[in-house]
Amino acid sequence: MEFTAQQIAEALEGSVDGNTEEKVSNVSPIEQGQAGTLSFLSNPKYTDYIYSTNASIVIVNEDFKPDKPINTTLVRVKDAYQAFASLLSMYEQAKPIPVGIDEMSKIHTGAKIGKDVFIDTFAVIGRNAKIGDKVQIHAQTYIGDNVTIGDGSIIYPGVKIYHDCHLGKQVTIHANAVIGADGFGFAPKKGENFQKIPQVGNVIIEDHVEIGANTCIDRATMGSTIIKEGVKLDNLIQIAHNVVIGEHTVMASQTGISGSTKVGKDCMFGGQAGSAGHITIGDNVKVGAQAGIGGNIKSNEIVLGSPAINYSVERRAMIAYRNLPEMWRKINKLEKLLDE
């Protein structure tokens, strides 16, 4: 499918700087741009590539001013990154949506299946499960008893959703994620093995949530582990029992949230960040990569380090840490002078 620069500009409410009839049929990174492809420039670090890229069309911010001649056609928009993401979404939505139930899937007679559903090979649907309209359930997926999946959700291959969990509309769960496994609950017994505490709650995932591959979200001991509307979780994330993640919070890969922690809305977690259990993290908190959160954090804070502290304090501490070897040598020298 081909698109002209003019068609792209109209779709993005932008303007064309160059050949309005230039055509593209694929996309490419600007540093690896090829003829016939569309790319974008939003990060200033990649500006030099726009003078050498072979991409036929590049989406740029409307205030972009080149320092040298450019051989490609530009589409100017308010926000190049957002515009490119919107264009990819439109392209993705234009793809045909699979429909139909494979004869090698296993659906319990008590399950309720909506309209225009896709259920692929070796998928298993448990008793009393409710599958909404236009849901996609891909190969080798397990949907447990009493699970509810809302309209338009996509469950990719190998996902396991344990019994009694509830998913809202337009939820996307990527390959091999596990939803609703037991929380890590064991009671110590003197001189004996730990006694397992039954996990009798469930997991509730609200609308428009996306969960990455191999991510695990544990069921609550009692009540619910809740992932609220619009949350985006990367691959390889652990969400423990009774955790609540607020609306539109995003977490990068290998983040771990311990049991009964409450995370506010619009938060951002860098990779490998972690939290202790039974704490509260406010709204609009930004957590740096590899940060270790040991206590409550107020709203609108930015924290770094382990233990995590305010980013301005941590930055000063990191500067001091880098100077420790030189400081140590100076202290040793001063001690020797004092002894003399």
Q: Residues 156-172: what's their mean pLDDT?
A: 98
Q: What is the DSSP code string of 80-123?
A: HHHHHHHHHHHHHHHSPPP-EE-TTSEE-TT-EE-TT-EE-TT-
* Statement to judge: residues 58 and 121 lie in one domain: no
Q: Residues 293-313: what's their mean pLDDT?
A: 94
Over residues 311-325, the pLDDT tens digits come to 888 888 888 888 888
pLDDT at 264 over 80: yes
Give the pLDDT score at 36.
95
Q: What are the percentages of helix, strand and coil residues in the chain, rounded to 5? A: 20, 30, 55
Number of domains in the chain: 2
* Statement to judge: residues 34 and 172 lie in one domain: no
Domain around 176: 100-314
Map tokens 């139909």 to a residue: 100
* Statement to judge: residues 77 and 213 lie in one domain: no
Active site residues: 241
- 319 within some domain: no
pLDDT at 92 over 90: no
- Of the candidates 216, 202, 204, 145, the one whose C-alpha atom is nearest the C-alpha of residue 174 is 216
Give the pLDDT score at 193.
87
- 66 within some domain: yes
> CATH number for the domain including 47?
3.40.1390.10
- 325 within some domain: no
Give the pLDDT score at 231.
98
Lowest average pLDDT, out of 140-154, 161-175, 318-332, goes to 318-332
pLDDT band for 234, please (50, 70, 90 cuts): very high
- Average pLDDT taken over every residue of the chain: 95
Rounded to the nearest angstrom, the gap between the alpha carbon of residue 179 and the centroid of all alpha carbons in its chain is 15
pLDDT at 54 over 80: yes
- 268 within some domain: yes
- 13 within some domain: yes
Q: What is the DSSP code string of 1-55?
A: --EEHHHHHHHHT-EEES-TT-EESEE--GGG--TTEEEEE-SGGGGGGGGT---
* Statement to judge: residues 18 and 114 lie in one domain: no
pLDDT band for 90, please (50, 70, 90 cuts): confident
> CATH number for the domain including 136?
2.160.10.10
Coil, strand, or helix at residue 227?
Answer: strand
* Statement to judge: residues 7 and 119 lie in one domain: no
* Statement to judge: residues 43 and 135 lie in one domain: no
- 190 within some domain: yes
- 282 within some domain: yes
* Statement to judge: residues 172 and 83 lie in one domain: no
* Statement to judge: residues 133 and 172 lie in one domain: yes
- 125 within some domain: yes
Give the pLDDT score at 315.
85
pLDDT at 2 over 90: no
- Of the candidates 260, 177, 250, 251, the one whose C-alpha atom is nearest the C-alpha of residue 224 is 260
Measured in Å, how far apart are the chain's first and last C-alpha atoms?
84
* Statement to judge: residues 115 and 237 lie in one domain: yes
What CA–CA distance (Å, rounded) separates 273 from 251?
Answer: 9
* Statement to judge: residues 124 and 269 lie in one domain: yes
* Statement to judge: residues 150 and 89 lie in one domain: no
Q: Which of 94, 119, 147 is the last residue of a domain?
A: 94
State the pTM of this model: 0.87
* Statement to judge: residues 105 and 214 lie in one domain: yes
Q: Which of 94, 122, 138 is the last residue of a domain?
A: 94
